[in-house]
Amino acid sequence: MTPASSHHQVVIIGGGTAGITVAARLRRAGLRDIAVLEPSETHWYQPLWTLVGGGQAPLRAALRTEAEVMPPGVRWLRESAASVDPAARTVGTASGRTISYDRLVLAPGLSLDWDGIPGLAQALGHGGVSSNYRPDLAPLTWDFIRRTKRGTALFTMPSGPVKCGGAPQKIAYLAADYWRKRGVLGRIRTILVLPEPAMFKVPVFNRALEETARRYGIEVRLQSELTQVDGAAREAEIVDHATGEKETVHYDLLHAVPPQRAPQWVADSPLADPASPFGYAKADRATLQNPDFPEVYAIGDVANLPTSKTGAAIRKQAPVVAANLRAGLRGRPATARYDGYTSCPLVTARHKMLLAEFDYDLEPAPSIPFIDTTKERTDMWFLKRYGLPQLYFKGMLKGLA
């Protein structure tokens, strides 16, 4: 028996940061027929996972139930999207249901490809191998950091767009600062492997991070990437893309970030951007509408936009999507514009942080007056640990910030 189909004025695929924020804004604007397609019973504030891995926050501080964050009056459809037909304006679910819509907000996030690095999936969770990109592993990262007294610590980032591009570096600095305070940093060789030609795309922040790495004695391998893990031997293969040379590094601790891409059903759909080798969704960089299917809006990690995939970017994207979607329902043109703003809180020590804010043009876009966030500051660390989670749960997810 085929599950029943249904229709909603607005269907939002994904009940994470982007989906809930847009749903809350639309409800506050008076829309009544909104459905959010989200299978998970839990909702994570993912930016806190780095501090969990660094021993600076408990995992429970990042967790809410999905029911707690779902805006009142929004229908929660507790299943996964499996396909989308934008020509027919329908979404197919994993259970076989068909849901039709007047407007669609595409906010399913991205997929972590743990198998994209041979041997990584098998090595995770033991033998010194962890990743803050999974909530169950973030506390283990801290356990491994505390146990490491000597040897080699390896921190890696994959090529291609990843969520929170600073996170692969931040855990290296938190670990190194902990080891410095414990008096063992000099006995630990710390290697940071980054695929880009610079540590950060914005020059002022790149210079600050270069100085941070020098301070801790971290070996930074640019244009390089982790390509294979042998968990039993505790060996990692690193490739230098500039020279093609391969090196096998014996590690005592490995914090690895997996390759990332759009969910496969997005990549296989007409909504995927042919310009993205990772299957991310096509979207106008200003209006966030799909140019081929203007009833569809892409927001957050799934959107193929030339900006970093962060919660701060979503905070600026959500009002644009909500405004343009409402305009479309009234038969009016999309006039709201997103300028590419994103923010990356760069934790450089156990109580120090830079706040990197910039736009599509990689120009600094500071939002806090009278404070130089290009310098390491203790107050910025407290903002990340305590202020931003409150802004997230009590502001963004309520459609207020």
Tokens of 288: 């966030």
Residue 95 DSSP SS3: coil
- Distance in angstroms (rounded) separating the CA atoms of residues 258 and 261: 10
The β-bridge relationship of strands 235-240 and 224-230 is: antiparallel
Nearest to 45 by CA among 62, 61, 59: 62
CA separation (Å) from 25 to 28, 184, 317, 367?
Answer: 5, 49, 12, 21
Catalytic option among 334, 344, 346, 365? 344
Q: H or E stretch including 356?
A: strand 352-358
The number of beta carbons lying within 10 Å of the beta carbon of residue 45 is 19
The β-bridge relationship of strands 63-65 and 6-13 is: unpaired
pLDDT in tens, 276-306: 999 999 999 999 999 999 999 999 999 999 9
pLDDT in tens, 357-371: 999 999 989 888 888
Cβ(15)–Cβ(76) under 8 Å?
yes
Residue written as tokens 């033991």?
A: 126
pLDDT in tens, 12-55: 999 999 999 999 999 999 999 999 999 999 999 999 999 999 99
**C-alpha Rg value of the chain to the nearest Å:** 21
pLDDT band at 1 (very low <50, low <70, confident <90, very high): very low
Averaged confidence pLDDT in the chain: 96
Which residue would you say has higher pLDDT here, 375 or 237? 237
Catalytic option among 36, 164, 238, 298? 164
Cβ(321)–Cβ(19) under 8 Å?
no
- Spell out the domains of the chain, with CATH numbers in brackets: 6-110+262-339+392-398 (3.50.50.60), 114-260 (3.50.50.60)
Nearest to 103 by CA among 12, 32, 37: 12
- Distance in angstroms (rounded) separating the CA atoms of residues 314 and 106: 13
pLDDT in tens, 132-143: 999 999 999 999
pLDDT in tens, 334-355: 999 999 999 999 999 999 999 9
- State the helix-helix crossing angle for 311-329 and 17-28, rounded to 10 degrees: 40
The number of beta carbons lying within 10 Å of the beta carbon of residue 291 is 11
The sign of the torsion formed by the CA atoms of 38, 292, 262, 173 equals negative
Query: Torsions phi, psi of 44, nearest 5?
Result: -110, 140
pLDDT band at 3 (very low <50, low <70, confident <90, very high): low
pLDDT in tens, 188-244: 999 999 999 999 999 999 999 999 999 999 999 999 999 999 999 999 999 999 999
- Annotated active-site residue 344? The verdict is yes
Query: Torsions phi, psi of 30, nearest 5?
Result: 105, 0
The β-bridge relationship of strands 129-130 and 253-255 is: parallel
- Distance in angstroms (rounded) separating the CA atoms of residues 153 and 219: 10
Cβ(260)–Cβ(112) under 8 Å?
yes
- Is the pLDDT at 4 greater than 80? The verdict is no
Nearest to 129 by CA among 253, 243, 5: 253
Give the mean pLDDT of 124-147.
98
* ∠ CA 285-202-384, rounded to 5°: 85
Residue 258 DSSP SS3: coil
What lies within 8 Å, CB to CB, of 257 at 6+ separation is 131, 133, 156, 157, 158, 162, 167, 168
What lies within 8 Å, CB to CB, of 60 at 6+ separation is none
pLDDT in tens, 111-123: 999 999 999 999 9
